[in-house]
Amino acid sequence: MNKVAVSLLALLIAGGLAQPVLAQDVASVELSRIVIAPPQSELGGIIKAGLSASYYGARAETRAYRDAQKLYFLYGQRHFEPIWLSKDTSGTITFSPAAEKIIALFRDAASEGLRPDDYLTPAIDLSKARGGDANAMAALETAFSDATLRYANHLYNGRIVPQSVDVNLDIQPKPLDEVALLEKLAKSKDPAAILGELEPTHPEFLALKAALAGFDGTGADRPAPIGTGPVLHPGNIDPRVPALRARFELPASASSVYDDALVQVVQAFQDGQGLEVDGVIGPATIAALNGGPATRREDIIANMERWRWMPRDLGKFAVMVNIPEYRLWILRDGKPEYTTRVVVGKASNQTPVFSDNIRHIVVNPYWNVPSSIIRNEVAPAVLRNPGYIDNQNMDLLYNGEAISPWSVNWNMVSPSDFPFRVRQRPGPGNALGQIKFLFPNKHDVYLHDTPSKSYFQRSTRALSHGCVRVQNPMEFADALMANEPNISRASLEAMFGSTERWVNPEHQIPVHLTYFTLRVDADGTIHSYGDVYGHNAKLIAALGLASDQPPAIIAQAQTTADDLSP
């Protein structure tokens, strides 16, 4: 059979391969011709036959097709000879030294928050090939390559498809050049180091991994978590009070009254955690009490998984919002340079989780009212009273033109078939305040000021329609423009007025809307935050860590990250 040459460019397009991940080794892929070489041994012929059957038998555009295609081209470059198996002088079949080292990683996968059984499958059984059966050897060879790629993807992108947990987790997998990675692993004397490069490098991920390694599964030294329940105000009676007294090492009492002595220690705890010091025990305080030594193993693993979903490089100068924490940071080289409180979306109007770039600042912004708010709030109000539009300093728009609400025959209009757009004009009562920070996205969310300042005094701040409201927007703007010589807080405030003004920074600034229920300080202290949208509980179920979930629910949730691989 003649050699079949296939251009690498065609392979990259057909196989869906994107830029490689291991930048220092395979970032530059020159356009060359890959040769599919004919087998030169019986084993090579069997491997080719098996891969060909998988490749040509799979439906195009499916994961199975892409997997078979990648392996077919990889093995085709080496006459379909095995990568991981070899025969010694006595004819005994063995795994290569590189494969043995990778198997050791599979066995230790739990230390990564992964599952060894995902990789040490029944197909990875050397005894099946020890009889010299060529078909068994070929099956073992390709099964090991498949397991290695699965492990690499789980290290790099996590086990679970974010969108399978919730559609508001708008996170795409990072591209991984699997063919280049397999070749590099097969040739390396230290494949563990190569696979280790795929792990997140952020200090918080590494701290969580260390916490997982030191986790005491017996729970003997960890305090019992404080249960959820109604918000507890001073003077209330609640069955959790004895547990709270025990947590703060107060004298035991049969009383369930939330008394002054307990209020004082709770306030001191809130102050130390950066919470609102009000003595009120709500979800944020309960979450903080259940952090640190009370943290569960499944919470550590779920937050490690979310770090794997994050971009590998957050940016040298970036904005990070953590939804459960209700807080925003500006990070320089990964270290906090500025922070402020934020208000995020209600459970019914969730702030989505994704990464983008801040491209524009808008001073004196119009508020283009989202269609959901028009349908549910504005339209019913206008139908009751057409004067609502003027009272709210709004424009009623039809075909892009502002019209008088008094010129409309409202008897012919219904909220479900509302043919108008609505915008609120710049002004003191504008829902966006005096400034907004735009990173154009399909969710139509952004960071902005707000006239509702009292919301920032609440400990639980899931109160918006989805956008992120910033407590100190002009301080934030000043810190955000630290790298812009021509933009400052003073120059932005000089634009305040009734006319919308757009400002375009020279540098785009990465912004990450995140969802971490555990955060780790530089000293290793773990802080816990409430699962405001339930994403954490659903991810724990998807990871198969929730023993109280029905098996069918867990199975449905366990869609692996492989299914979204490019």
Residue 547's pLDDT is 56
**pLDDT for 144-180, tens place per residue?**
998 999 999 999 999 999 999 999 999 999 999 887 8
Could you give the CA distance from residue 436 to residue 502 in angstroms, rounded to a whole number? 10
Distances (CA, A) of 51 to 48, 66, 111, 143, 430: 5, 12, 33, 11, 62
- What is the domain partition of the chain in residue ranges? 4-198, 211-298+533-564, 308-366+430-532, 368-425
Instruction: Please tell me the distance from the alpha carbon of residue 488 to that of residue 478, in angstroms, as a whole number.
Output: 5
Structure token digits, residue 93: 């079949």
Separation CA 169–CA 514 (nearest Å): 9
Closest to 511 in 3D by CA, of 298, 304, 353, 350: 353
Cβ(198)–Cβ(220) under 8 Å?
no
Crossing angle, helix 63-76 and helix 134-157, to 10 degrees?
120
Find out if CATH 1.10.101.10 is the number for domain 211-298+533-564: yes
The residue among 35, 41, 72, 44 whose CA lies nearest residue 56 is: 72
The helix or strand, by DSSP H or E, that contains position 363, with its residue range, turns out to be strand 360-363
Helices and strands of the chain, counted as H and E runs = 21, 21
d(CA 178, CA 9): 16
- Catalytic option among 467, 512, 527, 535: 467
pLDDT, position 34: 57
User: What pLDDT was estimated at residue 370?
Assistant: 87
Residue 46 has a pLDDT of: 84
**Residues 337/330, Cβ–Cβ less than 8 Å:** yes
pLDDT of residue 201: 94
**Euclidean distance between CA atoms 478 and 494, whole angstroms:** 13
- Using DSSP, state whether 201 is helix, strand or coil: coil
Catalytic residue list contains 233:
no
Please give the pLDDT value at position 58.
84
Is residue 467 annotated as a catalytic residue, yes or no? Answer: yes
pLDDT tens figures, 5-24: 333 233 333 333 333 333 33
Give the active site residue among 154, 448, 512, 527.
448
User: How many Cβ atoms sit within 10 Å of the Cβ of residue 486?
Assistant: 9
Distance CA 127, CA 357 (A): 53
The pLDDT score that the predictor gives to residue 222 is 65
Give the CATH number of domain 308-366+430-532; options: 3.40.50.2000, 3.20.20.70, 2.40.440.10, 3.40.50.720. 2.40.440.10
Check residue 8 and give its pLDDT: 29
Q: Please list the residues that pair with 342 across neighbouring strands.
A: 470
- pLDDT for the residue numbered 561: 38
**What pLDDT does 18 receive?**
34
Summary mean pLDDT of the chain = 85
- Provide the token pair at 444: 């139509």
Please, what are the averages of pLDDT over each run of 10 residues along the chain (566 residues)? 32 34 35 69 83 84 79 84 79 84 96 96 82 76 91 97 96 90 88 95 95 71 79 92 90 89 91 82 83 78 97 96 96 95 95 98 94 90 93 93 93 89 92 96 95 90 95 97 96 96 97 96 86 94 75 44 40
Neighbours of 336 (CB within 10 A): 11
Beta-bridge mates of residue 94: 86
HSE (CB half, 13 Å, CA atoms) of 213? 10
Alpha carbon 29 to chain centroid distance?
A: 29
**Residue 177 burial (CB count, 10 A):** 23
Residue 139: its pLDDT value, please?
A: 83
- What is the pLDDT at residue 313? 94
Q: Do domains 211-298+533-564 and 308-366+430-532 have the same CATH topology?
A: no
User: 396: closest CA among 381, 411, 363?
Assistant: 381
Q: What pLDDT is stored for residue 68 in this prediction?
A: 79
